[in-house]
Amino acid sequence: MQETTDSEYAEMKAFLAFYVERYHLNLETLPPEKWPIASLEALEKKGMKAALKGLRQAINDCVERSFHFDRAEVERLDSDLRRRGIVTLSELRRRYSKSYAKIMKRGQIKNETEYYLVRNVLYDPTEKAPEERKLLEDLISDYEGA
């Protein structure tokens, strides 16, 4: 398990709170103590290791759930998050998406969904290593040229 700093934990928690509020995620069917942030805070009281595991699972669920979003929705969400100083969906996709990891390992974009995932990660202003930025640019160029 990768090391997570307090600030990374806080940014993921802020993202989860914003995402849940924006998309509601069937909260009306749950009692308030079962809402994602309340559940996370209950885990925090038991221990940060359990809370981190739960938060990562919740973030991964958000990332996976967001793959049906069209490009415009991702851009709006990223923009709203950025204005609030919260880590963007595109950055979290880069960090935690199994799909993104497969693309990077494969070294090729296979379809339009993957294209927009890579494009959103590339154009998200979160800092990336020069090698990663170059690879993303090459993947996009290869896909657009095909």
Residue 143 half-sphere exposure toward CB, CA atoms < 13 A: 20
pLDDT in tens, 5-25: 888 899 999 999 999 989 876
Q: What is the pTM of this model?
A: 0.73
pLDDT in tens, 73-87: 999 999 999 999 999
Sign, CA dihedral 21-24-25-28, equals positive
Confidence (pLDDT) at 1: 36
- Max mean pLDDT range (34-38, 120-124, 138-142): 138-142
Task: Determine how many CB atoms are found less than 10 A away from the CB of residue 80.
Answer: 14
Q: Which helix (H) or strand (E) holds 133?
A: helix 130-145
Q: How many residues does the chain have?
A: 146
Task: For the chain, give percent helix, strand, coil, nearest 5.
Answer: 80, 0, 20
- Is 26's pLDDT higher than 60? yes
pLDDT in tens, 90-137: 999 888 788 889 999 999 999 988 898 898 889 887 788 899 999 999
